[in-house]
Structure 1
């Protein structure tokens, strides 16, 4: 069965992935209807075998007015380049970037950015961060050790020593001089593993999540307590 998505739903589906590797494994292709990305209907088949029938679109897809649009990795790259140039891009901005790439096989250069692959000014990045919008198209997380009960200090220090490549002495000192940042811009899976490791010691970490797009819900990795 072909499930049609609008642009926002398609972007949200990509953003729900952990990283580029999951995009590669989850989607076989991106098909879309004509008329521009903003108003198009999208289909994200789960494999190339589902996406194509003897190198042709399936009859059911063609009956819905769909045609081949972009490879999933390319689709994600277009979103990522647009996001890095304009962290608070709107749905219309992403649609323009996708349409431009589909027509010219090149990334759309945002006015004010010298290079197509360049990033936004620091002030613009900070404005996005203040609104809990992260730097990429997937959820990201900052993880902080804010409190460490004395009875768990040594065990926590061992974890910190491995994580931050410190000596045990340095790690103990760091665990006493809190707060201690344990990771920034971590993906969902890495954040969950880190939190689980400290949970097993009886130490609760502070987690601040950053959403992919301004309209996204605040992300929380499975099993994480204390997420902001």
Structure 2
């Protein structure tokens, strides 16, 4: 079955991946219909065997739907990432323009006002994105903080020492002072593993999720 998506659903599918490796493992190619990408339809085949026939062509059933090969998944993700680094609160229209530009010129769109050498937005824009709950990349990101260790302060200190690669004595002092930042800009799997590790000794951590795109809900852990 060929499940067609609009641009927003396609970006959401990429954002649902844990990281770049997940993108590679999840999608074989990005096929899209011609014309304005905001009105286009997309298909994300699971692998290259599904994306192309034995002759290396887009399958006839897919062509019949008006779709053709658009971009490799890794390249598609790179275009989104470059656009977001330049303009963290980019709209769906902004991403459509960035993708169309790359498809035509095989180059990333340079956003006006952004230093080309730095390739990222200024501090004010980054702060505004963070305040809006939008993370730094195109995947969900998490910030974990230890705010209360209770009676498990020594056990918590051992885990903090291992996690932050610091002496146990220093970790114990931090756990008594609190709060302790356990990690920021963590991907979902890493954040979940840290959370589970502390909860295994009866210590809860505060979790703040950051969404990949402004229109998405704030991500949460189990």
Question: What's the CA shift for 1:36?
Answer: 2.5
The one-character-per-residue Cα deviations of 1:79-100 (angstroms, maximum 9, x if unpaired) are: 0000000000000000000000
Matched, 1:165 2:133: no
Structure 1 stretch displaced more, 115-124 or 105-114: 115-124
**5+ residue gaps in structure 2?**
none
**5+ residue gaps in structure 1?**
224-228
Q: How far apart, in 2, do the equivalents of 1:98 and 1:111 lie?
A: 16
Structure 1 residue runs of 4 or more that deviate by more than 3 Å after TM superposition: none
Question: What's the CA shift for 1:114?
Answer: 2.4
Alignment partner, residue 180 of structure 1: 180
Question: What's the CA shift for 1:117?
Answer: 6.3
Matched, 1:73 2:74: yes
Question: What's the CA shift for 1:156?
Answer: 0.6
Question: What's the CA shift for 1:113?
Answer: 1.2
Name the SS of the counterpart of 1:182 in structure 2. strand
Q: How far apart, in 1, do the equivalents of 2:161 and 2:32 lie?
A: 49
Alignment partner, residue 204 of structure 2: 204
Alignment partner, residue 20 of structure 1: 20
Question: What's the CA shift for 1:168?
Answer: 1.1
Matched, 1:6 2:15: no
Q: TM-score, normalised by structure 1?
A: 0.95
Q: How far apart, in 2, do the equivalents of 1:170 and 1:120 lie?
A: 36
What is the aligned-residue RMSD (CA, Å)? 0.9
Structure 1 stretch displaced more, 32-41 or 72-81: 32-41
The one-character-per-residue Cα deviations of 1:183-210 (angstroms, maximum 9, x if unpaired) are: 0000000000000000001000000000
The one-character-per-residue Cα deviations of 1:41-73 (angstroms, maximum 9, x if unpaired) are: 000000000000020111110000000000000
Matched, 1:144 2:183: no
Q: How far apart, in 1, do the equivalents of 2:159 and 2:144 lie?
A: 14
Question: What's the CA shift for 1:37?
Answer: 1.4
> How many residues were matched structurally?
221
Q: How far apart, in 2, do the equivalents of 1:47 and 1:117 lie?
A: 34
